[in-house]
Chains A and B, each alone.
Chain A
């Protein structure tokens, strides 16, 4: 079963604009991770935020986590055509340490 639900399912923006995608989950987590998937490079880890962290930055990426609302957001600033991909949130929870992926947001960045 999928723990995370990304919103929106699809997003189309112009190059240079910012892209924001959201993830909601159901159970308490140890950490939350964001991955990117495109046909060229497969599934790639972007950033990890722990349950006791509220915000994290990596280059043009900014991730926030609100454990009270069981939600996270990924902001990509100054988007580029190369950012076109599907973005997935994945939650690590429970004693079994299982990573559960959401349904993904398809981002298209147009020139």
Chain B
């Protein structure tokens, strides 16, 4: 089966610019997650969707980050405006039901903010 797809793989922007990431989960996976992984740390959950509804966005900096999952399939994560501390790898993952099951991760997007 095809894995979780993400694009772009790399992105370099200047601070105060905006950027968007795209994720296509594994077919049939109702739950989709966005994580932020700063170098040397474990992934941190930003937002969790169940179909097209938000389950948890408690750690999403809502003043600059937004995410949507239209039609319960693909998802986009946007940062506007970006800050230097947003430099990280943004990982998308999906799972069949909730987070009791294992999560399948995409290759990630490495963002560098200069």
Chain A residues at the B interface, C-beta cutoff of 8 Å: 2, 4, 30-31, 33, 42-45, 48, 88, 90, 92, 96-104
Contacts and interface: CB of A to CB of B under 8 A. Distances in A.
Interface of B: 33, 41-45, 48, 55-56, 91, 93, 98-100, 102-108
Contacts of A90: 42
19 contacts: A2-B41, A2-B44, A4-B42, A42-B105, A43-B108, A45-B102, A45-B103, A88-B42, A92-B99, A96-B55, A97-B98, A97-B99, A98-B48, A98-B56, A99-B99, A100-B45, A101-B42, A103-B41, A104-B42
Contacts of A31: 100
Contact of A99 (B45, B104, B106, B107): B45
A102 B44 CA distance: 9
B81 to A, nearest CB: 25
Most buried by A among B42, B43, B102, B103: B42
Contact of A43 (B41, B45, B99, B105): B105
B91 A43 contact: yes
Contacts of A96: 55-56
A101 B43 contact: yes
B41 to A, nearest CB: 6
B42 A102 contact: yes
A38 to B, nearest CB: 12
